[in-house]
Chains A and B, each alone.
Chain A
Amino acid sequence: MSFDNLSSNWSKLRVKRPQPDQYKDAPYKWAMVIDLDACTGCNACTTACYAENNLPVVGKERFLAGQAMHWLRIERYWGEGEELTQEFPEQGAEFLPMMCQQCESAPCEIVCPVGATHHTPDGLNSQVYNRCIGSRYCSANCPYKVRYFNWFDYPTNAWPSPLEQQLNPDVTVRSKGVMEKCTFCVQRLTEAKSKARTEGRIVNDGEVLTACAQACPSSAIHFGNLADSSSKVAKMWNAQQVELSAYPQKKDEQREKDEQLGKNEEVVRGYRILEDLRTYPSVVYLERIRSAEV
């Protein structure tokens, strides 16, 4: 039976990803745009993520040891391209929320020995907790290091009674030895898709938001369906001239040519992080434009 599968579908099985217009006919491709200009570093998104996804708070000691479990982390940078006068200046920090980029060509998916991670039809990188045996190769291969391993058995000690009452029942509580990461709140997506399917439609733009997008007070995080060309996220990706399956982006090639010719064209702010590694991430960051110090 599998041999028949193999012979009749051979050309489909040999397709490399991402393909241009891969999601043209697909109902969903979840993507994000994060505006670094709007981000104030308040950490509301991180806290919302902890609450929504049953993340354990590991404590100060383990945090310092590097064993934190924050799926979404706020990174702080000072003085891009400048010399700093002190190690942590009072003003001028730039904040960057970093979570799993749901790469189309994810380096983590290919190396899991047991196949606990793969790409879903709606463009997410999935992590299957009950298949994971904890070899941590996915984390070793992730260039962004956004995969977090359960170094200890948190279900038994992270939520002393009655704190376990606040856990989200839609999300698994992970035992020790499994890898976890941002899922774009897949539990919310599944619920929304199911409701929409009952009503015979696809999910509308803005109907479902990830916890971080919902919590952000300055609306720095935009989440939506890239396959729906009328969605906000799709329009922002278009405006920033970022294509999901392209590297290098045409605008970067154009900008290089312009620089060589001495032209100083306006730069659109949108970029993807570590794009030259050809991971084809699904998150576009908008460069910060306000001046560093107030």
Chain B
Amino acid sequence: MNIHNEEQEVATEPRFVIKPKDINDEISWAQINEDVLRSLERPRALYWVIFFASLGLFCWGVYCEIYQYNTGLGVAALNNPQVWGLYIATFIFWIGMSHSGTLLSAILLIMHADWRKPIYRFAEAMTTFSLMTAGLFVLVHLGRVWQFYYVVAYPSERWTWPNFSSPLVWDATAIGSYLTTSVIFLYFGMIPDLAICRDKATGVRRLFYRVLSVGWKGTDWQWANFRVTYLTLACLLIPLAVSVHSIVATDFAVSQQPGWHTTSFPPYFVAGALYSGCAAIITLFIILRYTFRFEQYMTIPILEKLCKLTFAISMVWTYLNMIEYAAVWYGTDPVAKQTLIFRATGTYAGWWWAMNILGSVVPFTLTFKALRTHIPTMMVVSLLLNLGMWIERFMIVTPTFAHGYYPWTWNDHWWPNWVQIGIIAGSFGWFTMLFMLFCKIFPSVSMYEVKEMVYHRSQARKGAALLAASAPQPAKS
């Protein structure tokens, strides 16, 4: 006899919990093709407005660089000891931003996190273009730009080679490798999508896609080789990405200057890179979602996951930041401690506090679901986080020059001038131009991977429903 005198209903919903839907798994594959290929159509007026604005910004940067090239780096307000200025800071910023694509494509690939599938394509594109933009700064900051090729290890009749002990040569090797590998990775992952474009395109564009898709027919041996190659490239790209920003960090870490000579710099830089990259992905996510009406693919649950990832990385960065301060504060080098105090209380103190607030406090907005799912807030937050990261790079470079070992050489009233700011603005214009061109020529959402995501999730859901249906029913009273 039943103790509770009530009818027990048969359970109608499945007994297994289904996760919140990252994507509607009932989208038809034909619909996916159509939605994404629509983004490659002739652009509207707003696109051209923004494109030409970016072009204008880039041309302004080019004008500043031509002036600097012809007259000398002195016009950029650089002096002794402030020899590096904003160029190196922004160079590191752009390299940092490039790590996001690798994180999303490669790291999440080997972790089988399939929520990356609708968003990794534009993230990889962002990686490639960030690296190209960073390369600009390597040239801009040189005193004799026209002889930049001395850094490359080419055989010359004078038997002179670059100095392989120099971190800048390691930079050149690492960034060259990373750029090459990123471009290869981006292109290779696009081959099945380029085949889709080829099948739908007409005229000259058809020839263009046919050449690029190297005879892709979706055959089983093509897929098998493709999968193995893609996975191998991802596994090779991850250590490369980690090493690239670590090497950029050694530009500072191998120097004995106060504020730089810290072994925590390589992981600190890598964490900062992942951080600014993730924030940039959120920004581009929101822009692309709105512009191309990708709401079905770049969904709010995926944005939430991105935000949670960004928050996790921001906490890693905060920890490494605090550790750097703690190591200096409790360490034995009085000069490094003085440089830290100068950072917090000297000429650049406002920027230092801004960096710490933007980098460590603002990410807490990502912990509130209401804010995380509110698109305008996330747009503003992601831009603020990136601003914080740019300031971080500035705070690494300038205060050490301002307050080094030799008091006679201190120069703490240095600020950049219009030439430096112009060139940096030009770099943003260059990046935006490249990215906009990419979005109109290549599909910015990976069609075949979204199909796979939809397929696997619908299979899983049907499987779960089948299991639930065949599970034993609870006993009736």
Contacts and interface: CB of A to CB of B under 8 A. Distances in A.
Question: A and B touching (C-beta < 8 Å)?
Answer: yes
B401 to A, nearest CB: 7
Given A115-B162, A152-B71, A153-B72, A132 B168 contact: no
Contacts of B405: 143, 274, 277
A114 interface: yes
A149 B151 contact: no
Given A111-B167, A115-B160, A135-B168, A145 B142 contact: no
Contacts of B254: 110-111
A196 to B, nearest CB: 29
Interface stretch (B100-108, B380-388, B406-414, B435-443): B406-414
Interface string A136-151: 1101110111011111
B371 interface: no
Contacts of B162: 113-115
Nearest to A273: B406
B255 interface: yes
Residue from A110, A150, A151, A153 having most chain B Cβ neighbours under 10 A: A151
A186 to B, nearest CB: 19
Nearest to B165: A110
Nearest to A136: B83
Contacts of A144: 406, 409
A131 B150 contact: yes
A136 B84 contact: yes
Interface string A237-281: 000000000000000000000000000000000000010010000
B256 interface: yes
Residue from A110, A111, A153 having most chain B Cβ neighbours under 10 A: A111
Contacts of A151: 72-74, 78-79
A137 B150 CA distance: 15
B225 interface: no
B81 interface: yes
B148 to A, nearest CB: 6
Interface in A164-199: 175-179
B169 interface: yes
A143 B257 contact: yes
A107 interface: yes
B429 to A, nearest CB: 25
A113 B405 CA distance: 23
A177 B144 contact: yes
A187 B163 CA distance: 25
A1 B215 CA distance: 46
A152 B74 contact: yes
- Chain B interface mostly: loop
Nearest to B172: A113
Nearest to A153: B72
A99 interface: no
Interface stretch (A33-41, A60-68, A207-215, A222-230): A60-68
A240 to B, nearest CB: 22
Interface string A106-137: 01001111110000000000000001111111
B232 interface: no
B116 interface: no
A63 B85 CA distance: 18
A110 B166 contact: yes
A145 B409 contact: yes
Contact of A135 (B72, B143, B414): B143
Contacts of B337: none
Interface string B159-184: 01111011111001000000000000
A21 interface: no
Interface in B139-164: 141-145, 147-148, 150-151, 160-163
A98 interface: yes
A144 B257 CA distance: 11
B163 A134 contact: no
A144 to B, nearest CB: 6
B80 A149 contact: yes
Nearest to A113: B168
A134 B84 contact: no
Contacts of B143: 132-136, 149-150, 176-179
B465 interface: no
Nearest to A68: B80
Contacts of A274: 405-406
Given A140-B83, A148-B80, A75 B408 contact: yes
B408 A98 contact: yes
A141 B166 contact: no
Given A111-B255, A177-B142, A139 B83 contact: yes
Nearest to B169: A113
Contacts of A175: 144
B314 interface: no
Nearest to B143: A134
Interface in B408-444: 408-409, 411, 414
B77 interface: yes
Contacts of B77: 65
Interface in B379-407: 401, 404-406
B94 to A, nearest CB: 17
Interface in B22-49: none
B82 interface: yes
B87 to A, nearest CB: 10
A133 B148 contact: yes
24 contacts: A65-B79, A66-B80, A111-B166, A113-B172, A114-B160, A132-B143, A132-B144, A133-B142, A134-B143, A134-B144, A136-B83, A137-B166, A139-B80, A140-B401, A141-B255, A143-B257, A149-B78, A150-B72, A151-B78, A152-B71, A153-B71, A176-B73, A177-B145, A277-B256
Interface of A: 62, 65-68, 75, 98, 107, 110-115, 131-137, 139-141, 143-145, 147-153, 175-179, 274, 277
Interface of B: 71-74, 77-84, 141-145, 147-148, 150-151, 160-163, 165-169, 172, 251, 254-257, 401, 404-406, 408-409, 411, 414
Given A113-B166, A131-B160, A179-B143, 4 more contacts: A67-B79, A75-B408, A132-B144, A178-B143
The list of the 7 closest CB pairs from A to B, nearest first, reads: A134-B143, A177-B143, A151-B74, A66-B79, A113-B168, A115-B163, A177-B144
